[in-house]
Homo-oligomer: A and B are copies of this chain.
Amino acid sequence: MPTGLPLGGVEAGGTKFVCGVGSSPEDVVVESFPTTSPDATLDGVIRFFRHASPSAVGVGSFGPLDLHPESSTYGHITSTPKPGWRQFDLAGTIARALAVPIGFDTDVNAAALGEGRWGAARALSDYLYLTIGTGIGGGAVVGGKVLHGLVHPEMGHIRVPHDPERDPFPGSCPYHGDCLEGLASGQAIARRWGRPADEIPDDHPAWELEAEYIGLGLATWVCTLSPRRIVVGGGVMRRRRLLPLVRHELQRLLGGYIESVALTADIDRYVTSPRLGDRSGVLGALVLAERACRLADGDTPSSHSGKD
C-alpha cells in the first residue's frame, strides 16, 4: 500500500471474530477472539488493530447488515436473533476507535472477494461463494462486482423441495422452518441426527440427504445466477465424501438442460473447494480494506471490481 502500513481485516462470525493484518495470504497474521457481548468482543478486536496500526480495516460480518452508505444505520448488524448484537453499529464502533477507513460487507461477500483475488475464483467475473456451516450463506460476484441490490442476498433462506415422508425433520430455521438452511446447515444436521456433523460416520445416510439439499441449492443458483464457478466452503463441507456427491446431484437435477462443458466434463472444476481454506473471509476482508483506502483517497466506487 502507498502508506507502507499493512491492511486490517475482520471476519466477524457468530462464534468468533477472526482478525488479520497484512496484505496477502503470504504475510497475513491472524488472531481470533470469541464472540461474546459486543463490548467484550470489540475490545479484543480494537486492541489487536491498535497494536498493528493498519491503514484501513475491512469487516466481513454475519448479518443481516445495513450496507447502504446513505443510510443512517449504515454499518449496523440489523435483525439478527443473536443476543446483544441486534442494531449494533459494528463498522462505526471500529471506525471511531481506530480512525481509519472501514470497508464493510457480509462475511460471505468478503469470502467471495478473497477467493476471487487469491483463491479458487481468480480472474473470474461471475462466480458464487457458498458456505455450508452452522448456517448457510452465499456471496455472488456478477460482472466483476459483488452483488448487493436492495439489501444483500440471504441465499441460505431459499425454499427447496422437502419430502416429509423421507425426511420428517421439520427444519431448524426460526423464520422459515424448512428453508435450505433449516434443512441442510450444520445446526440442522445436528438436530436431525442427534449428534454434530463431524461425529456422523461416512457411511451414514445423512450425507446422501445432505448432498441432495445442497444440490437443490446449487441447481437453483445455476438457473438464477449462471455463475462461471461455484466455490463451496464451510465446516460441513470438510467431509470429503460430500463434494463429489453434491456435484453429482447438481448434474442430475439440471438434467442436461443447460449446455455447457463447465457443467459436464469440467464439473470438478466448476463446483470446487475454497483455495484459501478457513481464511477466505479474513483475506477477503483485506480486499475490503484496500477498497476503503482507495475510496478514502478519492477513487470512485466503480473501480470496486471483484477482479482487481
Contact = CB atoms under 8 A, between A and B. Distances in A.
Contacts of A216: 159
Contact of A142 (B147, B154, B259): B147
A162 B160 CA distance: 9
A130 to B, nearest CB: 11
A227 interface: yes
Interface in A69-84: 78-79
Given A159-B161, A216-B159, A227 B79 contact: no
A256 B150 contact: no
Contacts of A254: 157
B226 A148 contact: yes
A64 B142 CA distance: 20
A173 to B, nearest CB: 9
B151 A260 contact: yes
Interface of A: 64, 78-79, 126, 138, 140, 142-143, 145, 147-162, 175-176, 216, 219-228, 253-260, 262
A64 B79 CA distance: 40
B143 A227 contact: no
A64 B47 CA distance: 55
A255 B176 contact: yes
A224 B153 contact: yes
Contacts of A159: 160-161, 216, 219-220, 253
Given A64-B258, A126-B150, A158 B227 contact: no
Which of A140, A143, A216, A262 has the most CB atoms of chain B within a 10 A radius of its CB? A143
Contact of A225 (B78, B79, B153, B228): B153
10 contacts: A64-B258, A64-B259, A126-B148, A143-B145, A147-B226, A149-B226, A149-B228, A159-B160, A160-B161, A220-B220
A103 B265 CA distance: 31
A194 B216 CA distance: 30
Given A159-B216, A176-B255, 14 more contacts: A138-B224, A142-B142, A142-B143, A148-B226, A149-B225, A149-B226, A150-B260, A151-B259, A154-B258, A158-B224, A159-B219, A160-B160, A160-B161, A224-B224
